[in-house]
Structure 1
Amino acid sequence: MLAAFVSTPSPEDPLSVLEIGDRPDPEPREGWTTVQVKAVSLNHHDLFSLRGVGLPQERMPMILGTDAAGVDEDGNEVVVSGVVVGTPGWTGDETLDPKRTLFSELHQGTMAERVVVPRRNLLPKPAELTFGEAACLPTAWLTAYRMLFVKSGLRPGQTVLVQGASGGVATALVVLGRAAGLRVWVTGRSEDKRSAALALGADQAFESGARLPERVDGVMETVGEATWSHSVKSLKPGGVIVTSGATTGFNPGAELNRVFFTQLSVIGSTMGTRDELADLIAMCRTTGVRPQIDVELPLGEAREGFARMLEGRTNGKIVFTL
């Protein structure tokens, strides 16, 4: 079957080890089912995998991809949740399971014509959503949903700053925050990115690192090292930073004096639960909000999508179709 995969890591030149070609069909497993993939979205996790981050050589070759939408063995249109629960009998928030893993870390990923997944990882795809839109929800959009509505404690009418306006999680934060009645400000490196965020519904857009007209109630952080100091300095006393990633590096200046003196909260957030994904899907149905898709490409042309993400040429999600 056609798949996008990695056989050896390259920390410095990830595109050089991206392979697009034939891989064996997945083998059935008890309690799992096979999904015919119709669309899969690209995430920064996939670039990290090409670099070997969290994916040692001994687990390769590994098919990439953490989420998808497609058709199950019974002909149902489904959304594939990317979190695989690793501990038998685990109860409660699956993102807290110390043995949890994403597709493409321990189990073969979703960037292929077919993928086997635990049955509990499937949710019905609403007819209102295209396969491409549905494929954006389980990782990037679910991450944004959890950051805003589970972790932040922000309320409608408050102001939230989204750092890095054009990525998959960032565009989801803009759309979801606006739909929930938050005043959404963004930062972006270029005028095009800032204009695109405004078109999505952001109230104001600023250059990266710019001094804001006033301090904000919360900051949503996925950028890391490049924006951390600005995030801390942009908060009101008692404000909150929710961080779910660090695409520019994991070693920010701590700014601890500001954190304790102004009593800031720094909260980590990782993806979301199956129940939260169900709530996100319901929100999309009832409000009409939809993922911002930058480009859809056939899986055979996935290299172009990876290059766009690596070079920062994105405005929303990159989706591969089959």
Structure 2
Amino acid sequence: MKAIYLSGHGGNDVVHIGERPAPQRQPSDVLIHMHASTLNQVDLYMRNSGAGITHQLPQTMGIEGFGHVAACDADSGLALGDGVLLHPGISCGTCEFCLRGDDVLCTRIALLGEHRDGAWSEWVSVPARNVMRAPSYLSPFEAAALAVTHLTAWRMVVTQGQLKPRQTVLIFGIGGGVSVAALQIAHAIGAHAIVTSRHAHKLTHAQDMGAALGIHTPHDDVVKSVMAFTQKRGVDLVIENVGEAVWGEAMKSLVRGGRLVTCGATSGDQPPADLRRIFIRQLQILGSTLGNRQELHDLLAFCEQHQLRPVIDRVFPMHQVHDALDVMSSATQFGKIALDLTA
């Protein structure tokens, strides 16, 4: 089958489009004819080094996707031709975390495109529990984005962040997929969202989507802007995936007892802890990655209720994957970069 795969680590020279062995469906698995996927930061990380992630080369790339059921067991709850999306975490089902329903914390989890062959291929076979019907009102590319970017944002904003209507959330780096998804979810909840960006046009786009305030970070002071907007109170929740470069601003923007949820460290992973601020103001610092299968079910129901559509910046055919990765590296997109796995 045709697939996009890694032969090593480095730049686009190690990313190839060619033949890979087709998966053999096992009992209880679902064979899916893939249609669409979107790019995530981990795709760049796997290309660049993959350090710390156990994997074997060559390896098919891509952590998530949308496709149509080609084969499944009669008791799977699915039917041939169903449009489905993939939860990328293949969990063991037997460890303490799986047994309590938080399979994303599984001690033996294997993620598509990281620990095992991924979704950027003609065919994928995964356990039926990792396959869910996609909302029918979404395009293949919109549906593909839900199971990583929006699921990550859902766990950050709803599960970990406990955001409620009329509360205020500060979202760093609007334009990236998780930040845009967090804005959509927060706005649908009925919260007030403040967003930051180095790019004025991204702030304009975010405000068109419902952001209450945009902070242009080359010119505006984040903490002063937040305190002016909240009448010196601070925000209830901070959503960030930047790390060291914004950590001080994030901490100082929180109300007493506020919550900071982080899912990344693109600017560095060793920020000053500021422990006095944490214990005196009784702040909560929460880590978050992806989300479990129940959270994906809840997210899909939420999307149906609010007719939420992931923002797709642009779509690339499979043979232009190098161009797609270059755009991802440049961080110029607003929303998701998608791949058409049929082209």
Provide TM-score, normalisation by structure 2.
0.89
Contact 1:64–1:110 (8 Å) recurs in 2: yes
The 3 A distance-change label for structure 1 pair 225 and 319 is same
Q: Give the deviation of 1:34 after TM superposition.
A: 1.4
Q: Give the deviation of 1:58 after TM superposition.
A: 6.0
For residue 170 of structure 1, the aligned residue among 179, 198, 217 is 179
Match of 1:75 in 2: 81
Equivalent AA in structure 1 for residue 327 of structure 2? R
Q: Give the deviation of 1:108 after TM superposition.
A: 0.5
> Residue 321 of structure 2 aligns to a residue in which SS?
helix
> Residue 59 of structure 1 aligns to a residue in which SS?
coil
Q: Give the deviation of 1:88 after TM superposition.
A: 4.3
Number of residue pairs matched?
A: 319
The answer as to 2:50 corresponding to 1:53 is: yes
Match of 2:225 in 1: 212
Judge which range, 154-163 or 247-256, deviates more. 247-256
Equivalent AA in structure 1 for residue 128 of structure 2? R
Match of 1:222 in 2: 241
Contact 1:87–1:99 (8 Å) recurs in 2: no
The answer as to 2:28 corresponding to 1:28 is: no
Matches within 5 A, 1:87-102: 87-88=93-94, 90-91=98-99, 92-102=101-111
Identical columns (%)? 34
The answer as to 2:320 corresponding to 1:298 is: no
After superposition, give the CA deviation of every residue in 1:44-88 in whole Å (9 maximum; x if it has no partner). 011111122346686111111111111012221111111110354
The answer as to 2:293 corresponding to 1:287 is: no
- Give distance in 1, aligned partners of 2:197 and 2:86: 31
Matches within 5 A, 1:167-246: 167-208=176-217, 210=222, 211-214=224-227, 215-246=234-265
Q: Give the deviation of 1:319 after TM superposition.
A: 0.8
- Give distance in 2, aligned partners of 1:88 and 1:108: 22
From the CA coordinates, give the structure whose radius of gyration is larger: 2
After superposition, give the CA deviation of every residue in 1:160-214 in whole Å (9 maximum; x if it has no partner). 0001001000000011100100100000011122112112221111023533241
- Give distance in 2, aligned partners of 1:221 and 1:199: 21
Q: Give the deviation of 1:21 after TM superposition.
A: 2.5
> Residue 272 of structure 1 aligns to a residue in which SS?
coil
For residue 273 of structure 2, the aligned residue among 237, 247, 254 is 254
> Residue 193 of structure 1 aligns to a residue in which SS?
helix
Equivalent AA in structure 2 for residue 36 of structure 1? H
Contact 2:163–2:186 (8 Å) recurs in 1: no
The answer as to 2:24 corresponding to 1:5 is: no
The 3 A distance-change label for structure 1 pair 178 and 58 is closer
- Give distance in 2, aligned partners of 1:289 and 1:57: 35
Contact 1:160–1:185 (8 Å) recurs in 2: yes
For residue 290 of structure 2, the aligned residue among 245, 249, 271 is 271
- Give distance in 2, aligned partners of 1:67 and 1:57: 18
Contact 1:55–1:105 (8 Å) recurs in 2: no
Judge which range, 135-144 or 27-36, deviates more. 27-36
- Give distance in 1, aligned partners of 2:55 and 2:89: 21
> Residue 5 of structure 2 aligns to a residue in which SS?
strand
- Give distance in 2, aligned partners of 1:145 and 1:56: 24
The 3 A distance-change label for structure 1 pair 51 and 83 is same
For residue 130 of structure 2, the aligned residue among 111, 121, 125 is 121
Match of 1:84 in 2: 90
Any unmatched runs of 5+ in structure 2?
A: 71-79, 228-233
> Residue 202 of structure 1 aligns to a residue in which SS?
coil
- Give distance in 1, aligned partners of 2:316 and 2:16: 16
Match of 2:170 in 1: 161
- Output the aligned Cα RMSD: 1.6
Any unmatched runs of 5+ in structure 1?
A: none
The 3 A distance-change label for structure 1 pair 167 and 119 is same
Equivalent AA in structure 2 for residue 110 of structure 1? A
- Give distance in 2, aligned partners of 1:255 and 1:24: 51
Equivalent AA in structure 2 for residue 141 of structure 1? H
Contact 2:54–2:115 (8 Å) recurs in 1: no
> Where do 4+ consecutive residues of structure 1 move more than 4 Å?
54-58
After superposition, give the CA deviation of every residue in 1:8-56 in whole Å (9 maximum; x if it has no partner). 112xxx3332222222212323322211111011100111111223466
